Amino acid sequence: MEKFFLNRNFLMVYAIILSICNPLYILKINAEELIISEKPGFSSTFEDEKDNQLTLENFKGNLLLVNLWATWCEPCKDEMPSLELLQNHFNKDNFLVLPINLDRGPKKNAINFFKTQNINNLKIYFDDKNEIPREVKILGLPVSIFISKEGKEIARLIGPAQWDDEYFINFVKDNLF
């Protein structure tokens, strides 16, 4: 009889916990919410496919979306087509998506990924020394950082996103002018 009450009490406690906690699982956490803050952009260098050294200064005058990613990161690879779709919404004279690959291996892995995914409207950049992640203090991938036309960080998103969503399209439109 004691065992029955113990089991019944356990089930009651479990039911109460489940009824309280279950709504937490139902709530959709909006991962597509940008962290808005203005701070200096990063000064670390990165390379293009031809090993030319670049900095954010090379792109001054454009609104930028710097996407830090790697070929071993599945969420990074999953969001890449939507980054291209976002780029397709805007003129490259005003807005650029800069996917910066952080793989320490050969560049051909990232280049081949772009080819197999038919990502043709984005140029690929590289930081195989991982200087940018250290400078901007990130711990995981993907991370995307909006850089203003003046070279300042204005927002960032930690984690993957569906970049061609109206939320991001409107954010770009609002910051182009």
Expressed as residue numbers, the domain containing 150 is 32-176
Question: What is the chain's alpha carbon radius of gyration, rounded to the nearest angstrom?
Answer: 21
DSSP designation for 126: E
Q: Is residue 5 part of a domain?
A: no
Give the tokens for residue 133. Answer: 């992640």
Residue 2 lies inside a defined structural domain of this protein: no
Say if 14 falls within a structural domain. no
pLDDT of residue 5: 52
Residue 73 in any domain: the answer is yes
Does some domain include residue 22?
Answer: no
- pLDDT for the residue numbered 4: 56
| Higher-confidence position of 1 and 73 | 73
User: How many distinct structural domains can be found in the chain?
Assistant: 1
- pTM for this predicted structure: 0.82
**Per-residue pLDDT band at 126 (split at 50, 70, 90):** very high
Note whether 36 and 154 are within 8 A (CB).
Answer: yes
Give pLDDT, residue 33: 83
138, part of any domain: yes
pLDDT of 124 > 80? The answer is yes
Amino acid letter for position 80: M
Q: Which two tokens stand for residue 3?
A: 């065992």
In a domain, 86, yes or no: yes
Q: Looking at the domain assignment, is residue 77 inside a domain?
A: yes
Q: What is the pLDDT of residues 24-70, one digit of tens each?
A: 333 333 445 899 999 999 999 999 999 999 999 999 999 999 999 99
Q: What is the pLDDT of residues 137-175, one digit of tens each?
A: 999 999 999 999 999 999 999 999 999 999 999 999 999
C-alpha span between 128 and 35 (Å, rounded): 26
Domain containing residue 145: CATH number: 3.40.30.10
The answer, yes or no, to whether residue 12 has pLDDT greater than 60, is no
